[in-house]
Amino acid sequence: MFIFYGINFWAVFAAAIASFVIGAVWFGPKTFYPTWWKALGKSPDDQPGSANMGAVFALTFVGVLLSCLGLAVVINFANSAFGAMNWLSGAFLGALLGLLIGGGASLSHRMFSGQGLKVWILEVGNDVVALAGAGAILALWH
């Protein structure tokens, strides 16, 4: 295993892939994407992202990877302080951090940009679910 300072980087990568897939399903055309897109004030004819969607997806994955690495650091500290976490406590910690840190940080961004609570709820909902999944994976593979 590729472990450095108690962090299993294979687990971080697996958690990032799972989080990315959760995001793809969450914002899929049959799930929350149409509601989110409309809440942003966009019409179905508007194109998402930029001309280079490859870069959009690559940078999205980098962001997810960094979030999972941060969560792995927190889980590593929690394991050191309180003993090994199980998948459920890892999922709870991930969801809690998604809501309190991710949600807290993005709330003012959505309010000042005029995008409103509906956009915030949909985006933070994805963060909570994705980080819960990542936390479960990271706690299991610690």
- Kindly report the average pLDDT of the chain as a whole number: 92
pLDDT at 1: 53
- pLDDT category at 3 given cuts 50, 70, 90 is low
Task: Write down the domain spans for the chain.
Answer: 63-142
Convert the chain into a string of H (helix), E (strand) and C (coil): CCEECCEEHHHHHHHHHHHHHHHHHHCCCCCCHHHHHHHCCCCCCCCCCCCCHHHHHHHHHHHHHHHHHHHHHHHHHHHHHHCCCCHHHHHHHHHHHHHHHHHHHHHHHHHHCCCHHHHHHHHHHHHHHHHHHHHHHHHHCC
pLDDT at 7: 87
